[in-house]
Amino acid sequence: MTKLSLRLAVLAAAATAVSGCSVLGIDFTDEKVQYESSNSRANLEVPPDLTPIGNDNRFAVPSRTTVVSANAEAARQQAAAAQSNTPVGSEIVPATVTVKVMKEGTDRWLRVNAKPEELWPVVQDFWPSVGLVVKAQDAKTGYMETEWAENKAKLPQDIIRRTVGKVLDFAYSTGEQDQYRVRMERNDDSTTDIYITHRSMVEVVTGAQNDSTVWQPGPNDPTMEAEMLQRLALRIDAEFNPNASGKAEEALAEQIKQDLQPEPVPAKSRIVNGADEKVQAVELFEPYDRAWRTVGLVIDRMGFELVDRDRVAGYYLVRYLDPTYEQKKKEEQGFFTNLFGSDKAIDAPNYRIHLADEGANTRITVQDGDGNPDPTGVAPNILTLLAEQLR
């Protein structure tokens, strides 16, 4: 019996067993987040273009061993706030002296009056508190990524979940798994911007007899990004303002929830083709400062591995293995290599996603890792993926 048919059989049996039940007084939670790591289920097979590449964790910051003084922190925050300069086109929604919600169109992120070194251990501790495991982290780039996990809050709130779900996890599941990325950027005024992005995979039935399943990329969920931003904001506030009253905390939670609501915006980019009709660039209808944040969020959502970034030079350095490029390289390995099944893994090249300041607009191009024209032929593909996310 296949995994899929076994799951359906168990569900059918459970449904029959409880069909005569009435209200049993079971209290189901209305939480939006009930994650559990996917270690108990089969490994999530990620398509080639999303395969993660091993990260070097030599820059990882160890767990927190010191306590921040609330009085000293408040004094420092007041000094930082006095020197703070608000970016043109941004709206800061006042929350507390520690954390604020920033908004630009549909994008939301947190601005905190603290340095990345102070926030890094707080964010490290945050993910386990919501049931997620940190898979990779790099303090050099201010980046963390969680393991794939299933959000049990999406399961129907019924008796079957209560009786079957706890016994046979594989038999009663959402068929979806989520992953989050958090990225921190240092500002000149000693504040830190924190971005959270969501990715998903969905389990799809395949096979001639619909007897097997495969995992495919699903859409990102802005509501879950907002949920995690809200939870992280409250965690940071509790960390740096431990003496806040219960009413103040409730008011903060409600204010942040309202601030994170998205707002519709018109199309903000267009594709620029070259003489060969291939995609040459993407023109983003935003000034450079806003475009830098927008492109950074898009890169996180697309699953590229961030290697480095330089805001002054105007580029994000990412590692990406294009499926077409990978297939071409495997074919070049030769007949005998493929015949004996000893083909070598193809290394993912580095690419620079370059942003050029053009006043009211920003021009986005893709170069090789050293800033030269791309020799792999993948640049148009990356630009097309960026354009789809920037619509």
Q: What angle do CA 314, 315, 320 make, to 5 degrees?
A: 170
What is the arithmetic mean of pLDDT over 107-113?
A: 91
* Residue 389 clears pLDDT 70, i.e. is over it: yes
Q: Which of 224, 259, 294 is the C-terminal boundary of a domain?
A: 259
- Please tell me whether residues 71 and 174 are part of one structural domain: yes
- Please tell me whether residues 150 and 289 are part of one structural domain: no
Spatial neighbors of 61 by CB under 8 A, at least 6 apart, are 117, 120, 121, 124, 139
Tell me which amino acid residue 387 is: A
- Please tell me whether residues 60 and 187 are part of one structural domain: yes
**Is residue 264 in some structural domain?**
no
Question: 32-46, 77-91, 198-212, 244-258: lowest mean pLDDT where?
Answer: 77-91
What is the arithmetic mean of pLDDT over 183-208?
A: 87
- Please tell me whether residues 160 and 116 are part of one structural domain: yes
Q: CA 107, CA 297: separation in Å to the nearest integer?
A: 8
Q: What is the CATH number of the domain that holds 341?
A: 3.30.310.170
**Is residue 174 in some structural domain?**
yes
CB burial of residue 343 (10 Å; 0-12, 13-18, 19+): middle
Which domain covers residue 33, as residue numbers?
3-18+21-259
Q: Show the tokens assigned to 249.
A: 């905390």
- Please tell me whether residues 168 and 77 are part of one structural domain: yes
Q: Which of 204, 224, 259 is the C-terminal boundary of a domain?
A: 259
Per-residue model confidence (pLDDT) at position 223: 86
**Is residue 358 in some structural domain?**
yes
Per-residue model confidence (pLDDT) at position 313: 95
**Is residue 366 in some structural domain?**
yes
Per-residue model confidence (pLDDT) at position 229: 92
- Please tell me whether residues 284 and 170 are part of one structural domain: no
* Residue 5 clears pLDDT 80, i.e. is over it: no
**Is residue 200 in some structural domain?**
yes
* Residue 287 clears pLDDT 90, i.e. is over it: yes
Per-residue model confidence (pLDDT) at position 218: 79
- Please tell me whether residues 198 and 288 are part of one structural domain: no
Task: Decide: 130 and 111 in contact? Cβ < 8 Å.
Answer: no
**Is residue 46 in some structural domain?**
yes
pTM more than 0.85: no
Q: CA 8, CA 172: separation in Å to the nearest integer?
A: 9
- Please tell me whether residues 174 and 46 are part of one structural domain: yes
* Residue 335 clears pLDDT 70, i.e. is over it: no
Q: What is the CATH number of the domain that holds 242?
A: 3.30.530.50
Pairing of strands 99-104, 91-93: antiparallel
Per-residue model confidence (pLDDT) at position 220: 82
pLDDT, tens digit (0-9, with 9 covering 90-100), for 214-235: 777 777 888 889 899 999 999 9
Q: CA 108, CA 179: separation in Å to the nearest integer?
A: 18
Count of domains forming the chain: 2
CA 76 to chain centre: 31
pLDDT averaged over the chain?
Answer: 75
Q: CA 233, CA 192: separation in Å to the nearest integer?
A: 13
Q: CA 248, CA 376: separation in Å to the nearest integer?
A: 55
Count the helices and strands in the chain (H runs, E runs): 10, 16
Q: Tokens 């390289």 appear where?
A: 329
Q: Which of 227, 259, 291 is the C-terminal boundary of a domain?
A: 259
